[in-house]
Structure 1
């Protein structure tokens, strides 16, 4: 009768435990409000690994990481674990972390050539997606050095070369790959793309070379035209003190100094005006010309003043039916205007007849074109400012 009594006591104990379980809440259960967040802290069910693993917050994950990176394991096992970890980051498109893992795997120097090749190729892929094409090419090259016929290394090397616009090198990568994998479609597509890009780049290079040659010929013709006309061009304009030794003292010195510097830089006024002297198909020069109105501190700019045109042609347009708004006294009529160019070296103003063609003025022995733009002072004859401006200055005619 003892045994049945013991069984009865055991049953009574279970009933008591079940009654207690129903009335008391399980202490380690998930909360109803945050169960999804708590569930995501379990390594097996994590959707994404945290940026930094806090052992207090993620003890299970920290334990797993310690197992993965156990330094007591053989280097080959450690490298393989790091490769697998990098692959996880790669699939999550976290390419920076993938590069870190593959690099750590390579640093183990496990001696397994197959594994090292995979690590290099995978790191090349991660670098490729990060836009680090040179690093991707370096890794693909290193992988190919270990295993010359490794397909992924060959593909990644060709892709990197195309992105780096090294199309001839990309074709070489594809040709090497197709020797080992003659039917691989990806290599065939990459070779076709590289060849197409190379032919387009070669065509563009030929066009650029022809264009450069044409521009060079035009520049030479322009310089020759200026030189043949005896026009004196100063390459740069530097402030000079009046009476200093750096002045242009006579015709011969000025001409030789100017012509020795005659080049395209000396003809460019693009920084100031956006224009430059040009030689048209008929062999005529068109100059950017600046008119200065010191009385009102105003200027006019003519981007293409043909050397055969007279000054009056432009003055009649600029001061024709409508006078400029700054001419409040309405006195800037073509018949009232006097023109001058300044010879700084001689401290002299040379008066220009408005009926004179531009070429004749530019050929004057004391006329020097500065910064590629001839400039002329415009005054109203007989005005108070005209008298004041000319007082104490040397005035000469052409």
Structure 2
């Protein structure tokens, strides 16, 4: 297979160098002459003069930011520097690498990445230069926290130059930062094969081993927690089915269907304690259009016991003192949306097993009304 690359150029003679320099000077003069002439101003204020000097390519201390207007002479110099018709691919790659290094030195890592990328696109064919471009771009990505991109570039640099120590160290650090601890250890071992006394790499290797152990421990804990949760879910679902409790969407029942839909109960999902089901329960007060919540209602507790705790002190909204336990009626809405009275001396389990009772949205709900009150009569009449 023939080599498509052009043969290397022979070194320029002194005469040829002088001719090339003269040609570049002439082109620069022609470019400057072609620029539109600015109208001669009168007296230039000091601050304006200072700005002119600062922006002149010969005196500027920093390259212009992307998107800002460039001095015509600077623009001309840039064109000469990066024009592919005036520069060989290797010259372009080196120019972009130098720009990238300048930006990197001044902590302009994104600008550095752009410069290194342009150098890579030049495809100069020199594996040494290309490996450096990839490794330098890896460093810029690393300082931005782009560890995956940094690792990809470091590994590409190693493909071009397998014994590239800086790329090996960079790859090891990227693996550590991205949680690939086994791979980090492998890279550290490759470095230590050549330099066993490298304390920085020894430390990185030990840190990777320590983090690997922590990660494996956390993974074991997560698996154990999942198994425990699954076992608990199977136990709870089995107990619900055994008790014959009617739940909306009973088919393929799982705990996800029993997740409370109210923010106040998000952390109060039903559980099982000592073989008894413990439910979150919603209490609705139609008179005031407010809801209250019992986060843990043991299925063996009676409604009277739980309501006695709820109304141990009078609620702020009960200005008239009508809501006393002995003067309250409790209802639930059955499958046909009828309000069914509840005997408060019965346990929660006995009520949940009543014919017609259904648990909707994963949470038992009950309506609380003052007994024989006008509010109770109006509410019951409106729901007939």
Structure-2-length-normalised TM-score? 0.78
Instruction: Name the CA shift for 1:391/1:51 in 2 (closer, same or farther; >3 Å).
Output: closer
Query: Does 2:234 match 1:204?
Result: no
The 2-side partners of 1:78 and 1:317 are apart by 81
* Structure 1 residues not aligned, in runs of 5+: 1-29, 236-257
Query: Is 1:65–2:78 an aligned residue pair?
Result: yes
Work out whether 1:332 is the aligned partner of 2:327.
Answer: no
The aligned counterpart of 1:301 is 293
Alignment check: 8 A CA contact 2:154 2:170 kept:
yes
Per-residue CA distance 1:75-118 (angstroms, 9 max, x = gap): 22232222222212211112222222222222222221111111
- The alpha-carbon distance between structure 1 residues 192 and 350, as it changes in their structure 2 partners (threshold 3 A), is same
Deviation at 1:154, TM superposition (A): 0.9
Q: 1:325 Cα shift? A: 3.9
After superposition, give the CA deviation of every residue in 1:107-136 in whole Å (9 maximum; x if it has no partner). Answer: 222221111111111111112222222221
In the TM superposition, 1:79-94 aligns within 5 A as 79-94=93-108
1:125 alignment counterpart: 139
Select which of 231, 234, 255 maps to 1:220.
234
- What aligned pairs does 1:1-398 form with structure 2 within 5 A after superposition? 40-41=54-55, 43=57, 45-51=59-65, 57=71, 59=73, 61-70=74-83, 71-235=85-249, 258=250, 260-274=251-265, 275-280=268-273, 282-320=274-312, 322-345=313-336, 347-391=337-381
How far 1:140 sits from its partner (Å)?
A: 1.0
The offset of 1:269, in angstroms, is 0.7
Distance 1:176 1:356 in 2: 73
Distance (whole Å) between structure 2 residues aligned to residue 365 and residue 185 of structure 1? 75
Q: Which has the higher contact order (CA 8 A, sep 6+)?
A: 1
SS at match of 2:359: strand
Rounded Cα–Cα distance in structure 1 between residues aligned with 2:282 and 2:144: 53
Name the Cα RMSD after superposition. 2.8
Q: Is the 8 A contact 1:288 1:372 kept in 2?
A: no
SS of the residue 2:321 aligns to: coil
Q: Is the 8 A contact 2:261 2:361 kept in 1?
A: no
CA contact (8 A) 2:139 2:170 kept: yes
Q: Which structure is larger by alpha-carbon Rg, 1 or 2?
A: 1
- For residues 163 and 92 of structure 1, the distance between their equivalents in structure 2, rounded to whole angstroms, comes to 24
Indicate the SS of the match to 1:93. Answer: coil
Contact 2:335 2:358 in 1 (8 A): no
